[in-house]
Amino acid sequence: MRSEEFCDLILSIDKKIRYAGVYLNENFSYKLQKNIERYFSDEENMISVKTEVVRASLRRYMSEKVGEPVYAITKYQKVNLITLHFMETNLVLISTEPDADNSNIISRALDLIKAHGKSME
């Protein structure tokens, strides 16, 4: 499965998902929900992704003691940013509306990663 197709699957989970991205083997692709107002330019988006890659590596630093990270959430006034870890160094990045049901979105996204994560290219 191509990363772009996986982004479509993530976006289909819930209309309150604004953005879905996949960081896979140092390559990045993303898609936005239709008719959504963008908060970041392409350049700002890449800065955000690179920042999250660094944060993810810091979370993995403690994995020997507490286990591999599964996900992280950052809540802002306008959006929630969800980072899901898979296959050690890869990430799924999701942005949701502030009032989204993040628990359900995370659960369903983890199911999709389990089903398709190893087949992504």
CATH number of the domain encompassing residue 108: 3.30.450.30
Total number of domains in the chain: 1
Is the per-residue pLDDT at 62 higher than 90? no
Q: How far apart are CA 92 and CA 7, in angstroms?
A: 9
DSSP code at position 103: H
Per the prediction, the chain carries an average pLDDT of 94
Contact 86, 117 (CB under 8 A): yes
pTM above 0.85, yes or no: yes
| Distance (Å) of CA 87 to CA 1, 4, 7, 100, 121 | 15, 18, 17, 26, 13
- How confident is residue 27, by pLDDT bands cut at 50, 70 and 90? very high
- Distance (Å, whole) CA 44 – CA 38: 11
pLDDT for 92-111, tens place per residue? 999 999 999 999 999 999 99
Question: Domain limits at 76?
Answer: 3-119
pLDDT band at 88 (very low <50, low <70, confident <90, very high): confident
